[in-house]
Copies of this chain bind each other. A is one copy, B any other.
Amino acid sequence: MASPNDDMFGGFDMNSIDYVLPDDINGDLLDGNFFFVGNIPTKEEYPGPFNFTLTMDTNGQKWVYSKPLEQVFIGMNKVLVLNFHTELQLPLDEGYYIRALPVYSNNEHINVPVCRCTFHAFEDDPQSQAHHTPDKCRCEEFNNVGHVVRAQCRDAIYCFDKHSGRHSVMIPVNRPQPGSDKIAIPYSFACKTSCQGGMQRRAIHLIFTLETIDGSILGRRILGIKICSCPKRDKERQEKDFYADKLGENQSKQRLPQSNNEPKTKKIKLEHLELLQPPKAPVDGDLKREIKDFKKMFDDFSSSLNSLMSMHSKMLQKMKRIDELQRSFTF
């Protein structure tokens, strides 16, 4: 995870927080599109060959940034300007893009796409026409109804990946950059992290990737974000909790398995709409009802399968680790 450091870009933007990480592993593995493990996007920072970095100006903003939590707190539909920068000049022969993709922070939900909630989506597309068929997205025709993350600029490209079902937004960076390759992108967010029938109080991270037109990934940066009504209050409370936790932790130095940048886990009620639907008697062998029932079963099954997948992906990691360990043994 990024370790902010306020004074880089010497003399350039003193209030910018820097997210540059020391060159890390696994960058080389990723040269295709999203690097998915069963629909799970990577949340690893990756400066890449051009040292792709993310900074932000935290002064006088309407949002707040928590250093210890490495997280932005912002109101819905407010603008968050982020600065992206590459240390080395990008070759100009190609088109480059910065993609912003939201993912759930918690591993339990990381495999489900982050979408708008029914309530907010209803305003833009009351009849769910934009996503009538699951592998097709007509968001553009409906005010980008499905996109939580938006870029407030003309040249934003709203994307939908039909395999993962995820929405993201891309900004081209191929305009000539004077001096250093720095670009400021004004983002906004069209749902709260707490939206019922949407993110449902599940924390999210934003994944920013520097990509070529063909989807090759040249850098990746991660940023935690909470979209809520009282950013300041929530930031303060969470920081307080964070420090309290750290104190309690120090005492007995507990090893928490919280992999990735998964925050302290907390069970979330996934409003699977209590199906206490009126206990109707079997009116008559009604096909319709049966299909409906099956649909419910199938939905349950699917969510079960999802959690299975998440377990599986954890096993995959572990297996990798074991493999490494084992190889390194001398025998």
Binding site for B on A (CB under 8 A): 38-39, 76-79, 117-120, 122-123, 125-129, 132-135, 138, 141-143, 150, 152-154, 163, 186, 188, 196-197, 252-256, 271, 273-274, 276-288, 290-295, 297-298, 300-302, 304-309, 311-331
Contact = CB atoms under 8 A, between A and B. Distances in A.
B307 A319 contact: no
A183 to B, nearest CB: 13
B284 A297 contact: no
A242 B232 CA distance: 31
A294 B278 contact: no
A39 B309 contact: yes
Contact of A255 (B279, B292, B305, B322): B279
Contact of A311 (B120, B271, B304): B304
5 contacts: A117-B119, A118-B197, A290-B318, A297-B315, A308-B308
Nearest to A135: B317
Contacts of A117: 119
A242 B83 CA distance: 27
A317 B290 CA distance: 11
Contacts of A277: 77, 143
A319 to B, nearest CB: 6
A285 to B, nearest CB: 6
A328 B125 CA distance: 10
Given A134-B317, A327-B125, A304 B295 contact: no
Nearest to A298: B319
Contact of A315 (B38, B153, B298): B298
A161 to B, nearest CB: 12
B281 A325 contact: no
A267 to B, nearest CB: 16
Given A196-B196, A279-B330, A323 B305 contact: no
A177 to B, nearest CB: 17
Contact of A132 (B152, B197, B324): B324
A318 B295 CA distance: 10
A117 B274 CA distance: 15
Contacts of A276: 77-78, 188
Given A118-B119, A138-B330, A304 B300 contact: no
A285 B331 contact: yes
Contacts of A322: 287, 290-291, 294-295
> Closest 7 A-B residue pairs measured CB to CB?
A282-B331, A77-B276, A254-B279, A119-B197, A281-B331, A134-B317, A118-B122
